[in-house]
């Protein structure tokens, strides 16, 4: 259901595309680098082949830590000023990355860029929560994710195109140019969505109270952690994809296209989800997707362990698994945000911190286990999916596939069912 309208000069379509563009700055900063990781490793004379993964994971760790910062600031000063500052930092640090040949300095700059870009995920959630709730929020978040997923499909191809004409440093200048374009659009068109009556002073007691509310809200926290576990295999795949396709399968020439297939599958999942979530509900759709993800991953693990995995089979298993991640991500996040309309900024900030921190930590650890085979990655898929299902069962009091009306908690439904 739409919330009572504030003066809002842009329509839903422009808002969705703008929010997707903001989120895309993160995906772009990660995925555009993938074709260049081997070149960077050679150019900077890295001794351990897995060290190249830190170019990706340092950015993701910055995103995780930065997520805790912006909710309180956005709830106090508004969404738009925080976006203006953080995108500006994103642009400036990209320029620094373009002019360094020191690996340690590059990692520090990448971490800082991720630290600033963490605001995108936090504030997109907050802005959409300012305007929508319940399944309507899930539908809009899924549409945003669908548009956003165009970037993982095209970013590695864009990075490869840059490498045809220039060396890897130029990729960072491309990132900064795109960031500047998004910043200009936001400043010219996005109105402030924080309601004046919802502005919250930055007080330590109030902030920690909001954090406690998120942590001890069983259903919300369970879905936050489940979402983190579902994104962990995705981060592990992204971090190790270049090595998997170059070293394990010898598919360097078609790497960007295979990566695009899997990103497109995830985008398709978000597209279908945006069309069916209002009919079936975020819980039903995401829970079926989670069970399907586990089933696919178990079959994938069996084939891998038996030594029968080929490149076509790897893609055949990976693409539908990524599609299921597309079904779970937006829905889990929307379910987790539902109880926190008045403290959307702080809640979104803490949830992004917990979700991204968990996924970055586990995903990075899985990626660093790369041993020339895909077995560590596929094993990670099974473990993370199974743990996510256990968390959802805990969050939902052991009852799956139900639809919860806006404003009615699963605990209330369980109590009503027991009373009957």
Residues 107-143 pLDDT 10s: 999 999 999 999 987 888 788 878 877 677 777 777 7
**Would the pLDDT of 293 be above 50?**
yes
CA dist., res. 376 & res. 381, Å (int): 9
Residue 193: closest CA among 117, 140, 270: 140
Return the top range by mean pLDDT from 82-86, 333-337, 411-415: 82-86
Q: What string of DSSP letters covers 213-230?
A: HHHT-HHHHHHHHHHHHH
Angle, CA 18 vertex, CA 155 and CA 164 arms, to 5°: 20
In the structure, what pLDDT confidence band is assigned to residue 226 with cuts at 50, 70 and 90?
very high
Is the separation of the CB atoms in 171 and 33 below 8 Å? yes
Other C-beta atoms closer than 10 Å to the C-beta of 34 total: 24
Q: For the chain, what is the radius of gyration of the CA atoms?
A: 21
The per-residue b/e assignment along 115-153, b for 16 or more CB within 10 angstroms, e otherwise, is bbbbbbbbbbbbbbbbbbbbbbbbbbbbbbbbbbbebbb
Residues 44-70 pLDDT 10s: 989 888 899 999 999 989 988 888 888
Q: Return the SS3 of 163.
A: helix
CA dist., res. 54 & res. 65, Å (int): 16
Is the separation of the CB atoms in 402 and 414 below 8 Å? no
Q: Which residues make Cβ contacts (< 8 Å) with residue 155, sequence separation at least 6? A: 27, 28, 30, 31, 32, 34
CA dist., res. 270 & res. 279, Å (int): 15
Chain mean pLDDT for the chain: 85
């Amino acid at each position: 259901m739409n919330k009572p309208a504030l003066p809002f000069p842009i329509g839903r379509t422009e808002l969705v595309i703008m929010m997707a563009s903001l989120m895309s700055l993160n995906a772009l900063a990660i995925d555009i680098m993938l074709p260049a990781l081997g070149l960077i490793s050679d150019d900077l004379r890295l001794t351990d082949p897995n060290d190249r993964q830190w170019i990706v994971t340092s950015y993701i760790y910055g995103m995780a830590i930065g997520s805790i910062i912006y909710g309180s600031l956005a709830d106090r000063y508004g969404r738009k000023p925080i976006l203006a500052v953080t995108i500006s930092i994103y642009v400036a640090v990209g320029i620094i990355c373009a002019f360094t040949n020191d690996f340690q300095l590059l990692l520090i700059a990448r971490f800082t860029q991720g630290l600033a870009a963490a605001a995108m995920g936090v504030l997109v959630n907050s802005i959409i929560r300012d305007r929508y709730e319940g399944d309507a929020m899930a539908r809009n978040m899924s549409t945003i994710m669908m548009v956003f997923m165009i970037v993982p499909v095209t970013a590695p191809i864009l990075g490869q195109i840059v490498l045809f004409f220039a060396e890897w440093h130029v990729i960072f200048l491309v990132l900064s140019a795109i960031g500047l374009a998004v910043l200009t659009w936001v400043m010219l068109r996005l109105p402030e969505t924080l309601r004046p009556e919802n502005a919250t002073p930055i007080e330590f007691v109030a902030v920690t109270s909001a954090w406690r509310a998120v942590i001890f809200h069983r259903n919300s926290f369970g879905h936050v952690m489940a979402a983190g576990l579902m994104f962990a295999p995705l981060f592990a795949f992204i971090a190790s994809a270049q090595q998997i396709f170059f070293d394990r399968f010898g598919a360097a020439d078609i790497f960007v296209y295979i990566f695009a297939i899997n990103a497109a599958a995830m985008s398709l999942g978000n597209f279908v989800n945006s069309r069916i979530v209002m009919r079936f509900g975020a819980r039903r759709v995401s829970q079926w997707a989670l069970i399907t993800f586990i089933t696919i991953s178990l079959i994938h693990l069996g084939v891998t362990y038996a030594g029968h995995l080929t490149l076509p089979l790897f893609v055949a298993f990976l693409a539908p698994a990524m599609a299921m991640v597309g079904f779970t991500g937006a829905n889990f996040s929307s379910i987790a945000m539902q109880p926190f309309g008045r403290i959307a900024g702080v809640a979104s900030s803490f949830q992004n911190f917990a979700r991204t921190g968990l996924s970055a930590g586990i995903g990075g650890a899985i990626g660093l286990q790369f041993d020339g085979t895909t077995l560590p990655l596929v094993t990670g898929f099974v473990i993370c999916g199974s743990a996510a299902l256990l968390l959802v069962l805990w969050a939902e009091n052991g009852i799956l596939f139900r639809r919860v009306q806006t404003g009615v908690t699963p605990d209330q439904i369980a109590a009503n069912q027991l009373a009957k």
